[in-house]
Structure formats: C-alpha cells, structure tokens
Amino acid sequence: MPATAAPTDQLAYLLEEQRSYAPALAKTTAGERREKIDRVIGYLDNETNKQRLLDALRQDLHKHPVETLLSEIGVVYSNAKYLRRHLKRWMEPRRVSTPLSLIGTRSYVYYEPKGSVLILAPWNYPFNLAVIPVLYAIAAGCTVVLKPSEYSPATSSYMQEMFGTLFAENEVKVVLGEADTAAALTALPFDHIYFTGSPATGKKVMAAAAPNLASVTLELGGKSPCVVGEDVNIEKSARSLTWGKFFNAGQTCIAPDYALVHEKIVTEYVGRLGEAIRHAYGEDPQQSDSLARIVNEKQFDHLTGLLEDALDKGAKVAHGGHHDRASRYFEPTVLTGVTGVTGEMRVMQEEIFGPLLPVLDYANLNEALSVINGLPKPLAFYIQTDERSIIKRLLAETSAGGTLVNEFLLGTANPALPFGGVGNSGIGRSYGHHGWLEFTNERAVMERRLFDLSMAYPPYTDKVRQLVERVYKWA
C-alpha cells in the first residue's frame, strides 16, 4: 500500500466528518453549487495547471495531448457547462398531476441530495471518469470521497492536489491507495457508491454496498459489437472504426470490441483497415507519437494471452501483432478467421480492453444477431449502414447501454443523452439530468389544500363502502 494511503480508522473518521457536513450542503442554492463547479473550471483554465495535467496523462498512458484534450479535458468542460446551464431548473420541485379522486391535494417531486458519496474511478480515462461524477455529486449537494486508480498515479496525484486546493476535506477528499483501500472504503456506510470499472469488480462493489443498503451506480463494460453492412463506404467506415477502436490504445470501455462485417465486403474491408492503421500510426506504429501505451504489465499480459489463445485456435493476424513488454507497446492488431469458433476463443469471450480487433464475417443479419445476442448485453453498440430497415431491426432485436449509427465513441459527448449499461454492462446512468439524478433522492410530496377523507374513516358502514366504490371510479 502506498505511503499516502489512509488507515481504515482515518477513512471512517473522514466519512463521519463528511456526514456531519452533509446537512449544510443540502441547503446550498443552485448559485452556490455553480460556484463550486466554476472552481474546477477555473483551475483547468490556468495554463500551468492544464499543462501539468497533460504531462501527468502522458506519464501514465503516453496519451497524446490531442487525445487528452478530446477525451479528458474537453468532456469535463462540456459537462460542467451543461450543469451550470440547467442546475437551477433541475433543483426546483416538479409538479405532477393529481387524479380526480385526490381532489384537494397537490403533489410534487422534491429533490434532495443522497448525502455522502464514494466515487471509485478507473485508470483508462483517469481524469474524465473521476472528475465528471464529482461534478454531478457537487451539483446534487453531496459530499464526496474520490478514490482514483493506483494504476494512473501521476493523474491521481494531480487530482489529489487539485481538489485539495479547491475544497475542504469535509466536502471533497481524494484518497489514494490500492485495492485494499478501495475495499475498506466500500465497507463504510456511504449513502451512494459510484463505480467505473470491470463487471467482475462491479459485482464486488455491489456486494460490499449491500450490508449498508447503499445505492450504487455501476459503469462497467463488456463486448461492444460493431455491425458493418454491405452498403457502407468501405474506406470511410474502416478509417472511422480504426479511430474508434485504437483511440487510447483500445483502452476504452465503449470501444468496439469486435466487428461483424458482411461477407461480400469483408476481404476489402480488412484491407482498408490495414491502410487506415498505417495512415494513422505510420509503417512502424511503435515510433508513432499518436499511439498510447498499455497502462501496465498486468494488462499487457492479458492482451498477449488473448492473442496467443486466438492464434492457437485458428485465428490469423491480418495486420499488426507486434508488441514489446518493456515499453508496454502493443501494435494495433486485426484478427480474422474466427468465424464459427466464437465460443472457443478468449478474445470473443472476454472484454479485450486493448488494440486487438477480431473481425468476423456474416452472410445475413440473423447470423450477426446470433453472435451479438449470444454474449452479455454490451455497454455500446455500433451500426455502420445507411439501410433504415437494418438499423431498425438491429435496434429492435438487441439490447445495449447506448448505440451509435455511423459514428464511434461520441455517445458520451452529448450530456443530454444518458450514459450507462444494461445487465452485465452496468446499472444506473451518467451525464446530464440522468447523471444528476443518480446522486439525488426524488422525494414524493403531497399536500392537502382542501377537503379531507374523513367521510371514509371508520366505522365502515354500507354508506362508507358505497362512497369508496364511487371514489375508485374517479381514479
């Protein structure tokens, strides 16, 4: 455990301090909460601070500044501005309709913060996936303990300094540590736990939350498919898929995990993928400044194990395949020849989370649907076609957290859309109003303004029964 990790008794004391402060936060106005969001944006507006963040992400994942600006800083700005614009309206009680049988009453939904929140953030987008839920929790009026990943130490230390500068510990506190620190935190009686990571760890978080009856948001992952129709512009589609798959070296929970390409175009499509990879990363991707690295040796070994297993069971490397453990370099790799053996290869059973792309061909949509629906429900689903009938059928006959048609990765770019999984790929939603509600208790309120129901009180005479029967007809 790192020297900065807090002992269990200190973590419990921290939570008690935050729980004591939570009632004061619950009374804060929209303006006061917007000011707190502005602190974060102001910190990032400082060029020195921004450069330090770019350097930290470069150190952790070898991210090019363009990828950092797009997927880490830019999306934080987008959500912060969306929050500022809508927060006052969201906080206002919402009137709901009143049935005739309840005449004389008024009903509305009152929004209150859940209280003390624990956020467990991942390493693949260590700034974005930590800061955005913190912003929504702040906007809801909650206190926050943030536990970032130990696998992205430079970015985690940056966030510890940033939030430590901007907030008192009884409101927002970053706790560093390894898996045992996360386990100790999840055992504490937080009111809500927000976790981003693998389905396997998500199950552990949910089990840990159960004794305290804490609500959870689980942003997980899974095998996100990409279906490519025979009508696509092959060159354009292949280049888009290359970007979507190999962005951040494939270490993206919503990255396409495998491609199903129509048999009439699969050979040309695979060839175009190779051209797109060379265009993006050059003849020797190891020398490219645009390709991120695998986060650590554990994840690197996971990827090489998937590749070796696939090759042993009949897959072929169409492009790439080279890797270097010392530098954690893994070349963008396209695998083919896996049709009919999807149940045997680990690369078609486990979430890849790296620059490995299996390509399968299909003769008709029934074959593609059989593969997709034979796997757990994915976080993201990609459709590449202009045929409306195919799009409608794929939407109707599959289930996924989100779907993009003729685009990749941008499902998280619009804060107005809910983001999250279904079943194995997650519980709950993030971003926009949906994300704010995750940290909010929707409190049902009814006020009696006129009349009452005293005519239905005991003793229950025949007259009372007749009255109640008439009332039910008005409901």
Catalytic residues: 219, 253
**Partners of residue 54 on adjacent β-strands:** none
The answer to whether the bond into 458 is cis (omega within 30° of 0) is no
How far apart, in whole angstroms, are the C-alpha atoms of residue 170 and residue 19?
A: 8
CA–CA gap between residue 24 and residue 118 (Å, rounded)? 18
Please give the span between the terminal C-alpha atoms of the chain, in angstroms, as a whole number.
61
Q: Give Cβ neighbours of residue 193 (< 8 Å, ≥ 6 apart).
A: 117, 118, 119, 120, 186, 205, 208, 209, 214, 215, 216, 217
Instruction: Tell me the C-alpha distance between 298 and 351, whole Å.
Output: 15
d(CA 267, CA 168): 58
